[in-house]
Structure 1
Amino acid sequence: MSGDLSPIDKAKFVAARRAAEFVEDGMRVGLGTGSTAAWLVRCLGERVREEGIRFRGVPTSTRTAELAREVGIEVVSLEEAGWLDLTIDGADEFDGELSLIKGGGGALLQEKIVATASDQMVVIADAAKSVETLGAFPLPVEVIPFGWTASQALLEEALVSMDVLGRQTTLRMNGDQPYHTDEGNYILDLHLSRIGNPRQMALILNQIPGVVENGLFIDICDKVVIGYGDGKVEVRDINAGTVDEDRVDFVEDDNLFRDV
């Protein structure tokens, strides 16, 4: 299996495989959305099959829910689970303080709700997602469809007074139609190039009428697991102030897709 993976997919796989070790029997676990999170779900499904581990998973999108059920994970809603022990999710960018940009997969609202309803959030990512300053990846902002152009105008006006390099905003599309989130909302992508003060921006954006949530995750992530194409894994713990290195060996007859 691993011999067919690109270096970037190997990096995502080893990060997911290492992060899957944080899940213990009986836990309530938030399951993220996106390509790296999909690796995590498959790795957890493998643990369910081979180790008999049992836990309840709370997905952050319909896509994740479908995959989790396919690999044998018990899926419940956040209301059924109550408070979560752990959420593991990907990120589009993270900085040295483990502030994140998320929402490239369109699930930022559910992802933020689930992450903040957890004792701990662990982010899994390849090394390319590590940045000195957030903002190269477009910042997603979820808005309700009613009056979205007015919300967009107010967003662009607010950006004038913020420490950013770019101010272009675009409506995310799905073909020739606006992209719809699982909640039926739209996403405006903010092309900022650099965000000088993410904390200030997160607060200001959510005060704009029509904005449901933004993709800045500040003071939410506790650990980040960074994968590399050679199998190296780095675990950064923002609370303990530690950086640990590990290695995940590839097993050529590994088949994470056996039951998918």
Structure 2
Amino acid sequence: MQSDLEKENAAQAAVELVVPGMIIGLGTGSTAACAVHAIGRRVKEGLCVQAVPTSAQTAALAEQYGIPLLSIGAAGTIDLTIDGADEFTESLHLVKGGGGALLKEKIVAVKSRRVVIITDASKRVAALGKFWVPVEVVPDAAAYVMRQLAVPGALRQKDGQPFVTEQGNHIIDADFGLIQDAPELDRWLNNIVGVVEHGLFVGIASSVIMGEGSGVRIFES
């Protein structure tokens, strides 16, 4: 598929930024996994790095390649984080969290000197909002937060039960329509009691490397 080729090309371009001695943040999801595979191959060839995974799934994949891992708490400043996104704008505003790892992804991102997002061309949008915004909530506050959001939304499900994050929280997927002011929505969501984190990543990404056909296109902050 074209999107698979674009993901691979974006991942390869991002992994070229990795140099020996770095601490690297590893994102979660199918596109981020392309980068983990590429880094893993370089580790097997002798590259010395340490990595901070953003989910158990990513940690398991990294361990298959023998990539040395650090926990988020044990890592100081992270040199470079490579992650994916569910959608992005040319202003480098993102929606993330389709895989449910948004809390760890955001913590790792804000601890990083540089955050490189890798995507295929389908993730580029003029305005965020086609992909519903994940809002991670304390389970006991889910109904209250849903009322405060006052937009169409649903508690994410898995196997007929509420989806539970690695931190034991739930996720509301909220439909805000096309988001004209992502920074303002970011601030508003941060002020709702019971919200642990949300999938708007505003002012966090350093660049987006987007696979486009057989090449890549880079958007810088």
1:18 aligns with 2:13: yes
Q: Aligned letter for 1:121?
A: V
Deviation at 1:135, TM superposition (A): 0.5
TM-score, normalization by structure 2: 0.97
Deviating beyond 6 angstroms after TM superposition, the runs of 4 or more aligned structure 1 residues are none
In the alignment, which residue of structure 1 is the partner of 2:206? 222
Q: Which runs of 5+ in 1 are unaligned?
A: 1-5, 157-166, 239-260
SS in 2 for 1:137: coil
Match of 2:196 among 212, 216, 219: 212
Q: Which runs of 5+ in 2 are unaligned?
A: none
Deviation at 1:146, TM superposition (A): 1.0
- Please give the per-residue CA displacement for 1:161-188, whole angstroms capped at 9, x wherever unaligned: xxxxxx2111000021000111010000
Give the distance between the partners of 1:22 and 1:226, measured in 2 at CA. 15
Give the distance between the partners of 2:98 and 2:37, measured in 1 at CA. 20
Give the distance between the partners of 2:28 and 2:17, measured in 1 at CA. 18
In the alignment, which residue of structure 2 is the partner of 1:190? 174
Residues 26-105 of structure 1: pairs in structure 2 closer than 5 A: 26-50=21-45, 52-105=46-99
SS in 1 for 2:113: coil
1:179 aligns with 2:163: yes
In the alignment, which residue of structure 2 is the partner of 1:143? 137
Give the distance between the partners of 2:217 and 2:184, measured in 1 at CA. 29
SS in 2 for 1:73: coil
In the alignment, which residue of structure 2 is the partner of 1:241? none
TM-score, normalization by structure 1: 0.83
Give the distance between the partners of 1:79 and 1:144, measured in 2 at CA. 21
The root-mean-square deviation of aligned C-alpha atoms, in Å, is: 0.9
Deviation at 1:209, TM superposition (A): 1.2
SS in 2 for 1:80: coil
Deviation at 1:237, TM superposition (A): 1.9
- Please give the per-residue CA displacement for 1:48-100, whole angstroms capped at 9, x wherever unaligned: 113x1111100001100110111221111122221111111000111011010
Structure number, greater radius of gyration? 1
- Please give the per-residue CA displacement for 1:118-143, whole angstroms capped at 9, x wherever unaligned: 11100000011111101000100000
- Please give the per-residue CA displacement for 1:213-237, whole angstroms capped at 9, x wherever unaligned: 1111111101111113x42111222
Give the distance between the partners of 1:121 and 1:17, measured in 2 at CA. 15
Match of 1:9 among 4, 13, 20: 4
